[in-house]
Amino acid sequence: MPNVDPIQRALNRAAIAACAVLLQRGCPMKRPTEAQTRRQLNDTITGRRRWTLIEGDCLDWGRAVPDSSVDAVITDPPYGVSYCGKENKRPPIANDKHPFVWWLYDAYRATRPGGALLCFCPWRLQQTFHAAIEAAGYKVRSQVIWDRASFGMGDTSSMFAPAHDVVWFATKGRFKFPGKRPKSIIQAANVPATKRVHSTQKPLPLMTELVEAVTPGNGVVFDPCAGSGSTGDAAVRVGRRFIGIELDAHNAATARQRMHIAAKKRGRQ
């Protein structure tokens, strides 16, 4: 693979291997038992473990995350647009028929007082997500704009070329940035379609900037819609602990591989 860094090669191999295993009927991927998963979750919260990636439904497993145990929820949930990644012919994203907001109630419960939420959403549905975020208990403070440094598809004759994504920033109680005040516009090049391991994969520099903006060192980041693990990858690389939940088995396997790589790069499993 020319012009591909070792991390990307490892991710591509992990994605291919995960697909192959899943296609072998009668040879399912081995998953931790429920008891093991709960221990891993508790160990991550208490600091004995750096990360936990749960394969399952966040509406079920979100309830297992203890009250006031995470510093920030950073997530890119299904928007309700039935997106399937035409450019790389990926299958439709699970739970994407309607705006997926029901995870917010357990996310709010799990967020500690003084913690934060960063939630991606499409501009067409930003008011829907705004209302759901505040209905869950959070206070929306501002909006962050991700400048993708490139434009997407759309009606080229009657629409401005879309080149940004919207992120709602909300807090639980009185929040204070752990470092300097971040800017509301972040420019980070999108992941090229040919290098993505997930249809809506967010770039690592973007997620790293968001993680560092709202979480203290060694804080806990929670992503109930983990996808291929971009939030967790960023969190582990910069010394935060991470809890992720992902419904899709293929994506969960890819995310685990990314966590392992990030932890090794950090020098600790």
178 within some domain:
yes
Judged on CB neighbours under 10 Å (0-12, 13-18, 19+), 47 is exposed
- For the stretch 71-88, pLDDT in tens is 999 999 988 654 445 454
In the numeric block, the tokens 């990644």 are attached to 85
Handedness of CA 7, 94, 194, 222 (dihedral sign): negative
SS3 45: helix
- For the stretch 219-230, pLDDT in tens is 999 999 998 899
Q: Mean pLDDT throughout 131-137?
A: 96
Number of domains composing the chain: 1
* Cα–Cα nearest to 172, from 214, 128, 210: 214
* Whole-structure pTM value: 0.81
Q: Mean pLDDT throughout 40-51?
A: 95
pLDDT for position 54: 95
Of all residues in the chain, the percent with pLDDT exceeding 70 is 77
1 within some domain:
no
Handedness of CA 11, 17, 18, 19 (dihedral sign): positive
229 within some domain:
yes
Taking a C-beta distance cutoff of 8 angstroms, is the pair 169, 129 a contact? no
What angle in degrees, to the nearest 10, is found between the helix axes of 230-237 and 249-266? Answer: 10
- For the stretch 3-12, pLDDT in tens is 545 545 554 5
Separation CA 225–CA 99 (nearest Å): 13
27 within some domain:
yes
Average pLDDT, the chain: 83
Judged on CB neighbours under 10 Å (0-12, 13-18, 19+), 21 is middle
**CATH (domain of 185):** 3.40.50.150
What range does the domain containing 225 cover?
A: 6-266
What phi, psi does 179 have (nearest 5°)? -130, -145
Angstrom CA distances, 138 to 55, 68, 169, 256, stand at 26, 13, 9, 29
